[in-house]
Amino acid sequence: MSSRSVIGAEREFIAFAALLTSAIALSIDMLLPAFSELRMSFGMEPTSNLPGLTITCIFVGMAIGMPIYGPIADTYGRLPVLRVGIVLFALGALGSTLAPNLGFLLASRVLWGIGCAAPRTISQAMIRDKFEGDDMARVMAIVQTVFFAGPVVAPIFGEILVNAGGSWRLTMLFGLLIAVVMCLWSLRIEESLEASNKRELSFASTRDGLRMVFGNRVTIGYALTLLFSGGAFYSFLSSSELIINEIFGRPGWFVPYFSLTMCVMAAVALAGSKVVNRLGAQRLGHSALGFQAIVSSAMLTVALITNGIPPIGIWMVLMSAQIAAMVLMMPTMTTLALQPMGALAGTAASTVGFITIAIGALLGAIIDRQITSTVTPLAVGYALYTFCAVVVVLTVIPKTAEDSTVHGRA
C-alpha cells in the first residue's frame, strides 16, 4: 500500500472514530431545545426538570452496556461488536420516536444508551489498537474536536426540526439516520484487533483482565480523575436549559449560548491536538486540571457572593472556561489511562468509560436534582468534585509511571 493510501486510510479511520464518539452527543443534544415541547406533550409543569431524565437514561444505558462490550470485543473483534451495538442504538431511537408516554420514552432511552455504549467503547479501543503515546493523544484530541462540534449542530438542527414539524419526536427520528450512517461506514473500515491479541471469552479471563485494569494505578487513577472532573459537567448538560431559561430568565439564549460554548470546546480541542506532541499528554492534562481548580474556586465565590444568581455574562464566561479545561483533560487523560492496556484495550476502554461516564453521570444527577432557583448547587458540585480530582492525581497516580503495557494474550 502506498504512503498516500496509508494516510488516506488513517484519515478515514479518524473521521469514522469521530462519528462514533459524536453519536453520544448527537443522541443527547438533539433533544435539548425540545424540552419545552416534551413537557407540554406529557403534561408536565413548565419548570419541571423531568425532561433531564431523558439524558440520565442515556447514561444509565451506557452504564449497562460498557462493561459488556469491551471483553467481548477483545475476543471477537471490534467491528462485529460495534454493529450489534448500532442495532440496539437504532431500536432505542425508534422506540423513543414512537413513545406514547414518558415511561416508554425513558425505557427506550435506556436501550438507546446501551447501544451508545458500543460506539464509545469500540472507538477508543480501536484508537488504542492503532496508536500509542502522544500520537494516541493527538488522535483522541482530533476525535474530541469533532465530538464537540456535533453539539453545535445538534441543538440548532433540533430546534429547526421542532419548529418545522412541531414535534420533539423528529429529533428522536434523527437517531435512526445516525445509526444507518454508522453501520454503512463500518463496512469500509478494517478490523483493528490483530488475531494474536484476541483473548478467550470466559469468566476467568474476564476476571483476570479486570484485575489487571483495576490493579494498574495509572489507568484507574486517571479514570477517577476524569470521573470527578466530569461529574459536574454532566449536570451542566442536563440543567443548562433550566438554568438559562428559568433561573436567568433568558429563554432565547439557550441555543446560541450552547452552540457558542461547543464552538469554544471544538476550538480548544483542536488546539490541544496541535500542542500535545510538544507538551506531552501528562503535562497538558495536569495543567488543565490545575486551571479547572482555579475556575471552580472562582465559580463558587461568585455564586456565594451573588446569592446564587450571578450576572449571566460572568457566569457564561466561567462556565466556558470550565468546559475548556474539561476538553483538554478528556483526550489526554483517556490516553494516559489506556496507554498501559495494549492487549486489553477493549476491557480497559469499557472500565474507564463506565467509571467516567456512567458513575460520572450519577454524580452529575446528584447535583442536577438540587438545582431549582439558583446556580449554587452547580458551583458547589464543581468545587467539590475538582478538589477530589486533584487529590486523586496527587495520591493515586505514580509520579513516574512504569512501562506496564499489556502485550499479547494477557
400 pLDDT band (50/70/90 cuts)? low
For residue 2, the model assigns a pLDDT of 57
Distance CA 73, CA 209 (A): 13
pLDDT digits (tens, 9 = 90+) for 238-292: 677 778 888 888 877 877 777 777 777 778 877 887 888 788 888 899 999 999 9
pLDDT number for residue 362 = 79
Write down the pTM of the prediction: 0.76
8 A C-beta contact, residue 310 and residue 303: yes
Task: Taking residues 301-329, report their average pLDDT.
Answer: 89
pLDDT (0 to 100) of residue 371: 81
Give the model's confidence band at 405: pLDDT under 50 very low, under 70 low, under 90 confident, else very high.
Answer: very low
pLDDT of residue 402: 44
Q: What proportion of the chain, given as a percentage, has pLDDT over 70?
A: 92
Please say whether the beta carbons of 71 and 37 come within 8 A.
no
Q: Tell me the C-alpha distance between 351 and 397, whole Å.
A: 17
- For the stretch 12-41, pLDDT in tens is 998 899 889 888 777 777 887 788 788 888
Which has the closest alpha carbon to 349: 82, 189, 123, 152? 123
Handedness of CA 44, 50, 52, 56 (dihedral sign): negative
- C-beta of residue 306 within 8 angstroms of C-beta of residue 247: no
The mean of the pLDDT values for the chain is: 84
- SS3 state of residue 137: helix
Report the alpha-carbon distance of residue 130 to residue 141 in Å, rounded. 15
The residues near 319 (Cβ < 8 Å, ≥ 6 apart) are 236, 261, 299
The grid coordinates of residue 371 equal: 438545582
- Over residues 200-216, the pLDDT tens digits come to 777 788 888 888 888 88
pLDDT tens string 333-374: 888 888 887 667 788 888 888 888 778 877 887 887 788 788
User: Residue 6: its pLDDT value, please?
Assistant: 62
What is the band of 4 on the pLDDT scale with cuts at 50, 70, 90? low
Q: What percent of the chain has pLDDT over 90?
A: 27
Q: Would you say residue 379 has pLDDT above 80?
A: yes
pLDDT at 233: 76
Domain boundaries, the chain: 8-190+209-395
Q: Report the distance separating Cα 198 and Cα 228, nearest Å.
A: 32
pLDDT of amino acid 404: 46
What per-residue confidence (pLDDT) applies to 403?
42
Work out the pLDDT band at 299, boundaries 50, 70, 90.
very high
Q: Which of 37-51, 210-224, 302-316 has the lowest mean pLDDT?
A: 37-51
Q: What pLDDT band is residue 232 in, cutting at 50, 70 and 90? A: confident
Write the CB contacts of 381 (distance below 8 Å, at least 6 apart in sequence).
231, 232, 235, 363, 364, 366, 367
Label residue 3 by pLDDT band (50, 70, 90).
low
| CATH topology for the 8-190+209-395 domain | Growth Hormone; Chain: A; (1.20.1250)
CA distance 331 to 281: 9
- On the question of pLDDT at 180 being above 80, the answer is yes
